[in-house]
Amino acid sequence: MTPIQGTRDAANEALVSVRFIAPKPVRDMAQLAFSAHKKFPLVTADIKNGSELDAAQQRVLKSTEMLHTRMSEDLGLEMPPGDEAPSGE
């Protein structure tokens, strides 16, 4: 098993718990983020130009940021100004 496969399996296992425990907005955002991450390696194999790759990468990063925000809101945590999810830059 490759490190990517192991990470994907761990994320899938965590997603099962999220689906069971989390409220619907967090479940939905977790599914969106998981899907974006899962598709990314497949998408990159078919991409022929840099702008398409950048757009696919931005979808992954944005979905992760949105999930982080949704989870923080659900837990009643406020994100301090300037403390955002990593953007990969």
- Residue spans of the domains in the chain: they are 3-74
Exposed, middle or buried by CB within 10 Å (0-12, 13-18, 19+), for 30?
A: buried
pLDDT along the chain (89 residues), means of 10: 74 84 91 82 65 80 89 82 52
User: Which tokens is 56 given?
Assistant: 């696919």
pLDDT at residue 89, as a whole number: 43
Q: How far apart are CA 56 and CA 63, in angstroms?
A: 11
pTM, full prediction: 0.66
pLDDT at residue 35, as a whole number: 85
